[in-house]
A = this chain, B = another copy of it.
Amino acid sequence: MRASVLRNGSMVYRDDVPEPEPGPDQVLIEVDACGVCGGDLHFAQHSSTLVELAGQMSGAPSLTDGLDLGQDVFMGHEYTGEVVAAGPGTDAPAPGTIVTSMPALISDRGMEPRLYSNTLPGGYAEQMLLSAPLVLTVPNGLDPRLAALTEPMAVGLHAVNKADITPGTGAIVIGSGPAGLAVIAELAAAGVAPIVASDFSPARRQLAEAMGAHAVVDPATEEIFDVWRRTGSGVPVVFEAVGVPGMLDSILRQTPFSTRVIVVGGVMEPDQLRPYFGIAKEAEFRFVQAYTPDEFAETLRQIADGELNVAPWITAEVGLEDVGKAFEELGNPEKHCKILVRPNA
């Protein structure tokens, strides 16, 4: 079958990938849509550094455990598709049903994330396998392209849940890329106000407003904390969704006393900060990633029930041959937010 794979830092089109065969408790789907995640771009550029960093870490599994960068890597973890078949004795939706699932596989070792794999095709392929217990039926009538945004939106719901925002507290969202936009949409859905968001890109600021931000800031001309102080809304919860070095220190310097900072942006490089500022402010950092199965299911429900306005995210659709081009084009925030790969369209 056809697929786009990561090879030596580039996305390469292949038409010779073996078709996956569903085993027990597995469901085979024909992929309808798969969003290109900023994390995939990042991984394509920095995969060897990420594997090296994971090796320096103990105490928790990493997303790259067992991965061999000398071989092709399958990616694509924001998908929907149509059920084709199921493994022997597997309880699965009927063929033709549109489904999604969080990007994980259940094995003897429990539930393991499946974002990068040498052996298992992901959403940048014609077909892929899901674990039956994780499969969610896309509610009748919801466009599979919108349902494919469940995964990135669930990141926002998880971040907002982790923030434990008390009633009456507003939020600052620094950075309005997909992660920041998901946070804004989920904050708005939770009734948090005001939401003040920033981004250097005018297009992204417009999207931030479409997602529910009450005020948007261009950091080239204004400091978001100055804007916040003008609104006079007390101590915000701050979401860091830029993911470049220096942001955490900048937040600590400017934020009010007793601020909780939810770190969504994944800086891979060494980052420098002054703990002194954290102490002086009694600040709190909560680093977050991904979501729980319940949060994933809840996000799908929110989209299906029209509580999240995700349609404006989708700025292009491409076939498997053009995944590499999509990776390049996503560097321009004026032009693109979310590109969907549609392997079978």
Contact = CB atoms under 8 A, between A and B. Distances in A.
Interface string A220-261: 000001000000000000000001000010000111110000
Nearest to A264: B279
Q: Which residue of A285, A286, A288 has the most chain B CB atoms within 10 A of its CB atom?
A: A285
A287 B287 contact: no
A270 interface: yes
Given A274-B270, A279-B263, A286 B288 contact: no
A254 B58 CA distance: 5
A219 B173 CA distance: 40
Contacts of A270: 272-274
A257 B225 contact: no
A266 B275 CA distance: 6
A17 interface: no
A330 to B, nearest CB: 21
Interface residues of A, number: 44
Identical subunits present: 2
Nearest to A162: B282
Nearest to A259: B59
Given A59-B256, A266-B275, A266-B276, A285 B284 contact: yes
Interface of A: 50, 53-54, 56-60, 62-63, 225, 243, 248, 253-257, 263, 265-289
25 contacts: A50-B276, A57-B281, A58-B225, A59-B253, A59-B255, A59-B256, A59-B257, A60-B257, A60-B281, A263-B275, A263-B279, A267-B274, A267-B275, A270-B273, A271-B275, A273-B273, A278-B285, A278-B287, A279-B287, A279-B289, A282-B288, A283-B287, A284-B285, A284-B287, A285-B285
